[in-house]
């Protein structure tokens, strides 16, 4: 497998919204990741266009089959970082709200629905600032837009969420959701493979205000 750090704003596939328009998608670049194999790798799961971070690719059909089964069985650990408006009163907990489609014409548009599919998300507060919270989110199920809908329905929508939050369609800070880490039990007799992706620049300011400590240098050697 390969794990890539997908940039925010880059769709994984050329979906309905991308058809008829010339916009870049991740699949345009997968041929460059063959590294000697006859076929290009393929994405083993989904990330929203505006979500950055760890995306797992299978390098050949057998690998894809094994990875798909691991995802279906819930054996691959996924951890996300999010900045939300407001925040939970408890420092950790479980969101257990079933989700269903809001519109049959737009299958990606989700809502809390008692008749929908079971959906569970664990959360932990990593830091707080005036009006914002930095959360670590662990999806225990894999529904479309699960983390975004769960946070919004709990009363603390994600910063920069133009669909389920309060951010305007234009001029927002960008969705503050990042696939921070994946843990994949790739080999039966070895420790799981753990991969982390650094948060994207558009999340740095809010993360720092909530207590994230990160030092780096630019190419000129200045902090």
Are 127 and 133 in contact by the 8 Å Cβ rule? The answer is: yes
* Contact between 210 and 126 (Cβ < 8 Å): yes
> Coil, strand or helix: which one is 152?
helix
Catalytically annotated residue among 48, 73, 113, 129:
48
Q: Which two tokens stand for residue 13?
A: 């596939």
- Give 95's strand partners: 121
* CB distance 25 to 10 below 8 Å: yes
Parallel/antiparallel/unpaired status of strands 99-101 and 110-112? antiparallel
Could you say which DSSP state residue 68 is in? H
Count of other CB atoms within 10 angstroms of residue 129: 15
Q: How far apart are the two ends of the chain, measured CA to CA in Å?
A: 35
Annotation says 90 is catalytic: no
Sign of the torsion angle spanned by Cα atoms 171, 83, 52, 205? positive
177 bridge partner residues: 82
Pairing verdict, β 177-184 and 52-58: parallel
Q: List the structure tokens of 163.
A: 């669909």
Query: Catalytic residues, which ones?
Result: 48
């Amino acid at each position: 497998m390969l794990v890539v750090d997908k940039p925010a704003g880059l769709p994984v596939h050329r979906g309905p919204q991308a058809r008829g328009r010339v916009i870049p998608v991740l699949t345009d670049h997968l041929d460059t990741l063959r590294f000697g194999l006859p076929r290009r790798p393929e994405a083993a799961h989904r990330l929203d266009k505006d979500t950055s971070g760890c995306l797992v690719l299978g390098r050949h059909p057998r690998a894809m089959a094994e990875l798909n089964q691991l995802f279906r069985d819930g054996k691959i650990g996924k951890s996300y970082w999010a900045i939300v408006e407001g925040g939970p009163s408890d420092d950790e907990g479980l969101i257990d709200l079933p989700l269903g489609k809001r519109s049959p014409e737009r299958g990606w548009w989700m809502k809390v629905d008692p008749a929908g599919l079971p959906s569970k998300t664990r959360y932990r507060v990593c830091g707080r600032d005036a009006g914002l919270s930095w959360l670590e989110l662990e999806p225990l199920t894999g529904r479309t837009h699960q983390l975004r809908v769960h946070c919004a329905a709990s009363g603390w929508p994600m910063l920069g969420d133009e669909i389920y939050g309060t951010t305007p369609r234009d001029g927002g800070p960008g969705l503050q959701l990042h696939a921070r880490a994946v843990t994949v039990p790739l080999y039966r007799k070895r420790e799981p493979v753990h991969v982390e992706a650094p948060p994207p620049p558009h999340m740095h300011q809010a993360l720092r205000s909530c207590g994230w400590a990160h030092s780096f240098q630019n190419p000129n050697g200045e902090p």
